[in-house]
Structure 1
Amino acid sequence: MAFSLSIMLILGLTFVLAGMVKGMIGLGLPTVAIGLLVLVMTPAQAAALLVIPSLVTNVWQLMAGPSVTAIGKRLWLMMAGIWIGTFLGIGLLTGPDPGPVIGGLGGALIVYGTIGLLGVRLTTAAGAERWLSPLVGAATGIVTGATGVFVIPAVPYLQSLGLGKDELVQALGLSFTVSTLALAAGLWHRDALPLADVGLSVLAVAPALAGMVAGQHIRNRVSPQAFRTCFFAGLVVLGGHLVFQAWG
């Protein structure tokens, strides 16, 4: 992808907005970024540009929690499932026909946005976590590999485990970090992570961090519930547009 002025402007604005969302509610950077970028490029290109800013912001979130070791021991089966599922699904993202991927991405955004708007909260019994974690991880990995979005079903599942606030934020950071690394590895394996895109991805870190800091400041001045409602409604609208773009 060429380093044109228009691409740089699109990248900058997209990652400022995506970082702002993450700063406000602790997640949403990859979802917003890839959802907007596929409007002007292929899903594989959008996923490649997402890798570095997503990795940096999610490692930051992961390291801010109480204990990386403890949360890693609890969720390692889920993380293993994410790796396996991502490599099973990556062929769709890097395939010659972007239509199904764009449609699938739109569907994922609609589902995620609808869950957020309805305030759905699930509960996982303690005895079910050991066998359910790898299945949820594999499903998340397949969605990640196919669309570049790694929130479904990982986020609702992690929210269902009864974790404390800090533990949940850290668990989300771990899941997103592993998903980002698995996505990068899958793209590289498919020769879909060229150095030019890596360079653009590095440049996207600054606007993503700037947006994240701005979002953290805004969080103290705006009702989080009002912002979440607007955010999830926006995802549903964006998802609907992508579905129409793919199959309309």
Structure 2
Amino acid sequence: MTRTGPLPLVVVPGMLCDPGLWSEVDFPEGHTLRHLDLRKPDIGALADDLLASVSGPFVVVGLSLGAIVAFEALRRSPQRIAGLCVMSTNAGAPRPEQYTAWRAMDALIAEGRFADVVEQTLPGMFPTPRPPSTSAERYRSMAYAVGPDAARAQLAAQATRRDALAALRGARCPAVVLSGTQDALCPPDFHRAVAGALPDAELREVAGAGHLLPWQRPSAVSDALRDLLARVPAAFPAA
């Protein structure tokens, strides 16, 4: 069985991000667009939600934690993923210092200090440690909209992820990997490893951009997605 016509796009944000992250991206017309929330404390459960969000094959667009969820979905059901657009991410297993940092953030939120966690994460989102006040306020508003309960679930989910490079080598789809050259959280080397593992990937390094590429370089994300969709077969085998 094959499915023809525009494939659904499922868009998965990063930690403390909501659909507003993608508001300036020019998604191609004709594709059903789905946004996935990240509110479960396990990468596997989030990957299952991703796979259940649409029927048949689809294209997934993920940033940071959202891309990690996409990697796990690819591990579980490579025949469902017709195209992969990932950015600002890491396919490696967590490092010891990350577990420590996540536990500390979770403890702050449990104490009612969610605002402190938002302020801790804010500098890593931008190319410079002191982003413009309008950018900082925009990030705070998005993070507060996500809220402390979802943030704690996302921290827990981060701790359940595993190395995804072997899963990426089994991909059957075209992919594009975007990396901000000034991304302090996920530097270009992380993305070179992701692109090197995927059998059919294009790596695009976006000069001067930080972690939140859809805000900082929406045209680069739009162009990459458009070019990726041109590489997706018109008829993709259904699951």
TM-score with structure 2 setting the length: 0.28
Bigger share in helix: 1
Greater RCO structure (CA 8 Å; 6+ sep): 1
Bigger share in strand: 2
